[in-house]
Structure 1
Amino acid sequence: MKEPWTNEMKEQIDDIHIPEERLNRSIEVAIHRGKKERRKFPVNRFLLTASAAVVLFGLFVGSAFVSPAMASMVAKIPYLGKIVVPENGEDVVQEIADELEEKYTIMGMGVSYPEKVIRISIGGDNSYYTKVKSEVERDVKDILKKRHHDAYGVEVNRGREEVMEPTEEEKRNSQEFMTIYDELAKEADKRGIGLLQTSVDYGSRELQFEIPSNEDTEEEIKEILDGTVSSHGMDEINVSFKKINMDKRDQDKRWREILTLLQDDLLGKQEYNVRMVGYSVHPEPEIQAFLSISKKDVDAKAFAEELEKAIDEVLQSDKLSSKVKDDDYHINIYSKEDKILN
């Protein structure tokens, strides 16, 4: 069991490949509100990070050589070739969460992909749930309609609070490691040692530190840890380190923000046929788009090329160019079978 401790808010997702058959399983990721106080209820999402990049789905078509089936789909897309970036930088899920928090007793909210179902759990007793259920559903649908997002389904249910009390051993372990970490972090701060993130593995009694790759502070951290453990008469605690490239870390943050802005329109509008979104900065920034179009469709390549142009256009726009900076980036468009089309 691991519990993350961070010196600053960290929202980094490692590059991993998740097979298609696992996409239906919702992975919960806490959504924080920048420097604002954490909301009273959790917002959970499913995110996919592919091994080479992230996922970004949409359907933008402009070729004269499209099949009749695809042509009928093209006619339904309102602003062909343009991806609309939220004016205030807040995606639709965040907007829904903010509004619900102000008006209702909400226990939690989740979004699963690729199903694109927004699930809201209402707190309170059965009488309250019955009273506000339809209102909550209406408010969510109104926000989606305002943004012209018709790809999401909405489910509202009554939440049931389940409190899982930790065992006495878990309480002792947590208190012991928290004491050690607090004292170690204070001493490290005095010495100017950067600790980016620290995790604890209770099973192996190990503290796992992330530190800047340009700093050789491992031995000094070990020295502080050993002294802290000894002063409390505790059993030995193991330690491991992961070096973090700070330039890549900052680049990752920028492209994560870019993806958040890009995905809002692409995921939200049914006409775009977006399945998932994601990104990677290793070795260079890359956006991937996985279409719901089969590679067998004779017009699939044309669609992919138009989508690539649309994504590239918004990446170079005034709204995103300050985040893209001078980065060399790639855009890969994949078919329903996960084969590159462009």
Structure 2
Amino acid sequence: MDGSTFVHSKQVNDWLLFTQFFIGDKEKSQEIVKAWLIKPSTKFQRNHVMERGFRYILKQMKGENRRRVSKVLLSEYSFKSIKEIDQAIILLHYYFQLEIKKIARIVRKSKREIRKRLFSFLQVLSTKGITVHTFNNILHAEIMTISLPLTPVVTKGIKINRKKTALYSLLILHFLIVGGAMNSGIVEKTQAKQGPDLLTIYRDGTFEQQLKKDLEETFQKEPFAIKINFEESEVSIGIFDEVLYRQKAEIITFVNQFLKEKDIPYIVQLDYMEETIGDDEIAYQVIIEANAKGIKLWPGDYSEQEKVMEWVLALPDAIELVTEHAEVTRAQGILKKYNHKAPLIVSHYDKDRVDRQERWLELTPYFEEGFLLGKEYNIESISINAYTKEVSIDVYTYFLTKDSNKEEIARAVKRSIDQFLQSEEVKQIVQNDAYTINIYSAGKKKIKIHY
């Protein structure tokens, strides 16, 4: 690939952004990307080459200049104790949304090992009082604001808006990974059938909550971590108690019977999860008490020995000075109680945005369970982006692109969500927020529907 092609290729810019994101060195990024792109076998549209590209770039995550994914994306939280390979897995899974089997090939680990590491990260989130949905939203939002200036050689003669370029490039990468650009689909005006009754599930509680409750009551231990994996049709169970893990066979039998009663033909995956919050046991007690008191207090930095060196107190941006002083005093009281000497700093967040995100993410489990039980809808995953004032609900399905009934089914899905969101039961959650519902078919092709 000659110099002119290298400068003007949009795909090159995509890879430069991606590489810089990992290593934080724009000149080194250019060298890496150019070295990889000049290989004559490179074809961007071929999925196995995309995987090779990820692997090639991940190999460069070495040296003093590397950027930790956690440091760049979640400065207000601290995941410094997470290893680099786990950061790569987290990014590939939660942002680029690669299947577990693809991630396994890229990082040269087994699917079981990938699932285990992802569950360990879920435990980290739980310890810090962060839901996986909140993490996913923050991840997507922060990526769009990362400063990724391209080198003068590459940007010569091209005016670049940094945020738009990052957004455009990462979207292109996403489309390349999943295998195709969006398609508007066929619009039909037939009456859609009724979708699953999400209100019933909302009133009765979620599938995950019920399974977790039944497991803890039956085996007299907690906590169990439960995750429904639409992608691989499985229910994953994480166990954090070594003694309980010895009852693995009994637990799997119990869960299989639970699934059979609900007519859900999912397989059961069970793993023993080690604690991954570092070696600072006193800090762990601080976090537990802060969570119990509703104080957003998290480690801000770790030493090489994985001891907490700094605490971050997150407060809303419009908080009054008197209230802020009171919250700081409460946080300092907890640190004093446990005699933790690390300094405390205050970080402010957008209260309206965070409140909106937390409200909407309460609804995600009900969407997922409703369409899990309504098996004819073949829902792969549902994501809610409440970062902006107009909330976006994206439903990904396994509908085949040539399925003549896909528009009818998509209308049923959309109608079901609409009725749920407009009901009196969830009025306090939705409030007056505007929202859009997008249905995507196989290959992430968007279905344009009216009903």
Q: TM-score, normalised by structure 2?
A: 0.47
Query: Does 1:198 find its partner at 2:298?
Result: yes
Q: 1:326 pairs with 424, 427, 432, which one?
A: 432
1:212 to 303, 316, 329: 316
> How far apart, in 1, do the equivalents of 2:400 and 2:313 lie?
44
Q: 2:362 is paired with a residue of what secondary structure?
A: helix
Match of 1:277 among 374, 382, 392: 382
- Residues 46 and 112, structure 1, Cα contact 8 Å, conserved in 2: no
Q: Where does structure 2 lack aligned partners over 5 or more consecutive residues?
A: 1-69, 71-77, 81-92, 102-113, 142-186
* 1:258 has 2:335 as partner: no
Q: What is the SS of the residue equivalent to 2:395?
A: strand
- Structure 2 vs 1, CA of residues 265 and 243 (structure 1 numbering), >3 Å: closer, same or farther? same
Cα deviations across residues 94-152 of structure 1 (Å, max 9, x unaligned)? 1111112112266744425222312446975999656x35751454225524xxxx253
Residues 1:144 and 2:250 aligned together: no
SS in 2 for 1:326: coil
Contact 2:385 2:392 in 1 (8 A): yes
Instruction: Tell me: CA distance 1:142–1:151, structure 2 relative to 1, closer, same or farther (3 Å).
Output: closer
1:93 aligns with one of 208, 223, 237:
208
Q: How much does 1:279 deviate? A: 0.9
8 A Cα contact 1:45 1:111, kept in partner: no
Deviation at 1:212, TM superposition (A): 0.8
Q: Which amino acid aligns with 1:332?
A: N
Q: Are the aligned partners of 2:123 and 2:275 in contact in 1 as well (CA < 8 Å)?
A: no
Greater share of helix residues, 1 or 2? 2
Aligned to 1:13: none
- Cα deviation per residue 1:294-318 (whole Å; 9 max; x = unaligned)? 4455554454344222211221123
Structure with the larger RCO, 1 or 2 (CA within 8 Å, 6+ apart): 1
Q: 1:124 to 1:282 in 2, by over 3 A?
A: closer
8 A contact 1:82–1:314 mirrored in 2: no
Residues 104 and 134 of structure 1: is their aligned pair in 2 closer, same or farther, counting only changes over 3 Å? same
Q: CA shift at 1:236, angstroms?
A: 8.1
Q: 1:315 to 1:30 in 2, by over 3 A?
A: farther
2:267 aligns to what? 153
Q: 1:321 to 1:205 in 2, by over 3 A?
A: same
Would the aligned equivalents of 1:267 and 1:276 in 2 still touch at CA under 8 Å? no
Matches within 5 A, 1:120-199: 120=237, 124=243, 132=250, 135-145=253-263, 150=264, 152-155=266-269, 170-171=279-280, 175=282, 196-199=296-299
What is the Cα deviation at residue 333 of structure 1? 1.4
Query: Structure 1 116/285 Cα, relative in aligned 2: closer, same or farther at 3 Å?
Result: same
Give the whole-Å Cα distance in 1 for the aligned partners of 2:365 and 2:195. 19
Aligned twin of 2:194: 80
Secondary structure of 1:313's counterpart equals helix
**Number of equivalenced pairs:** 280
Question: 1-side partners of 2:123 and 2:325: how far apart?
Answer: 33
The corresponding residue for 1:71 is none
Provide the residue aligned with 1:20 in structure 2.
97
| Corresponding residue to 2:217 among 102, 112, 123 | 102
SS in 1 for 2:376: helix
Partner residue of 2:235? 118
**Structure 1: gaps of 5 or more residues:** 5-15, 39-43, 53-61, 67-73
- 1:319/1:151 Cα in 2 relative to 1: closer, same or farther (>3 Å)? farther
Distance 1:123 1:298 in 2: 51
Are the counterparts in 2 of residues 286 and 330 from structure 1 also a CA contact under 8 Å?
yes
What is the percent sequence identity of the aligned residues? 17
